[in-house]
Amino acid sequence: MVPEPADPVVARLCRLCERAASSLSAAGAGLSVFAQDNQFSLLAAADPASERLEELQLVLGEGPCIDAAADRRPALIADLGQVAPTRWPLYADAMRDAGIRAIFAFPLQIGAAQLGVLDLFRAEQGPLSGTELRRAFDLAGEAVTILLDGQEQRGTERTDDVMAGPFELFQAQGMVMIQIGGTLAEAMARIRAHAYAEDCRLIDVAREILAGDLRFDRDQ
């Protein structure tokens, strides 16, 4: 189990991910939210293994989470073995290597506003039953409520500022933006690329940047 975060909203979402994994016979569950410049940020996970599975989509920029958000509808992958090699060339192989055989991604949205995506990871292939699908939609709706409650509790702050994930990551993103003279999106792309190349977590890269141990040049 992931240690309970200090932020009560994030703590509630972590507990929701734990319930999602246990009630839907999943190997894990994670939740990512939209942040600045339409970038994704990992916000909650059922456990450390789920955190790694969820974050890998953000590092690689591909996977059911990305597709569900782009298409504004669930991405229900009952058998990763049937996914075309060109769809997620890196992520699908990484999931199979991790023992994941099915992934189900549910966009978190209300009206035209997109808040994020709830992902379920299963070690066995096969579709969700009708009952499981309804349960997953209920959990996605509950996640939306938690996110909106968090926004209301913080007054006038925007949802993407409130739910931007680990604060250190966005501090680092701002530093890299200045270093490279680019945009926030370009800064996040550099951070993601470094995390992928070094096979490490985004938050660990962020901490290196904040400590001054890692810098990015304009011409990299």
Q: What gap in Å lies between CA 149 and CA 164, rounded to an integer?
A: 15
Percent of the chain with pLDDT over 70: 85
Output the average pLDDT for the chain.
84
Q: What is the pLDDT of residue 164?
A: 40
Q: Are 4 and 11 in contact (CB under 8 A)?
A: yes
Which residue ranges form the domains of the chain, and what is each CATH number? Answer: 8-162 (3.30.450.40), 167-211 (1.10.10)
Q: Give the pLDDT mean for 145-166.
A: 55
Flag whether the pTM goes above 0.75. no
Q: Give the pLDDT mean for 105-127.
A: 90
Phi, psi of 215 (to 5 degrees): -130, 155
Element of type H or E holding 54: helix 48-60
Enumerate residues 6+ apart whose C-beta is below 8 A from 131: none
pLDDT at 32 > cutoff 70: yes
Model confidence over 71-85: pLDDT tens digits? 999 999 999 999 998
Q: What gap in Å lies between CA 131 and CA 122, rounded to an integer?
A: 16
Here the tokens at position 216 are 């990015």
pLDDT at 45 > cutoff 60: yes
Phi, psi of 89 (to 5 degrees): -55, -30
Here the tokens at position 165 are 């994930």
Instruction: Specify the DSSP class assigned to residue 220.
Output: -
Going from the C-alpha of 216 to that of each of 84, 165, 176, 189, 219, the distances in angstroms are: 35, 22, 6, 12, 9
Query: What residues are paired with 29 via a beta bridge?
Result: 120
Enumerate residues 6+ apart whose C-beta is below 8 A from 40: 32, 33, 34, 57, 58, 65, 66, 69, 116, 117
Percent of the chain with pLDDT over 90: 46
